[in-house]
Amino acid sequence: MWWWGARVFAGRFNWLGRFSHVAAVLVCLVSVLYLTLFPVYWEYGEMNYSGEGRTYNVSYMVLCAIVLTIAGAVVRALGGPLSGAETTSDVRRGWVELTVAGVLAGLLIASPSTRHTYETLKTAPAYLKEEQARARALRRAPSEGVVFVDRITVRPAGLFWGDLEPDEAHWINVCYAKYYRLQSVRSRS
């Protein structure tokens, strides 16, 4: 991608060669990251740090921009200046780009999130089966009266976000009942 971007957008990333420009971009990105994360922490507190998904989406995109900015600055600094002709610095830049790409790939693979995602994917089929069985039962249930269902037993982190509760007035229960056009839904336990 760097190779393609360097050729298509030649001259547009000259700011990566100036420390002051890179620093200014990183200060702006870190400021946006601060604004997306810490107000959520202040609102929900240490024990219930769970903001809205769109806040996490912005935080994730800003973190990606920070990583790409730092990687671009490192490649620019170690690879030498860009030129129109194929030179020794172009070959060196290619090796630097491959090295940085390899390091980033290694960090991605070694990340605890990657292991966590792999573990989640192993239990995802069982979770899907339970969810599908519940959906079939709710589609077949009579619309009048209280419909009782079992709680989900497989709860893969990252996929499982909440379950039906014994209290039929709980917001998740109300949403299920409205979606399936039922009078009331609740869990057995």
Q: Quick check: helix, strand or coil at residue 147?
A: strand
Distances (CA, A) of 159 to 12, 44, 55, 102: 40, 21, 18, 29
Question: Which 8-state DSSP code applies to residue 46?
Answer: S
pTM of the full predicted structure?
0.49
Half-sphere exposure of 176 (CA within 13 A, CB side): 27
The answer to whether the CB of 187 falls within 8 A of the CB of 166 is yes
Residue-wise pLDDT for 48-103, tens only, equals 455 555 667 778 888 888 888 888 777 777 765 555 555 566 677 677 778 877 88
Q: What is the pLDDT of residues 132-156, one digit of tens each?
A: 999 999 999 998 999 999 999 999 8
User: Tokens at residue 146, please?
Assistant: 């209280």
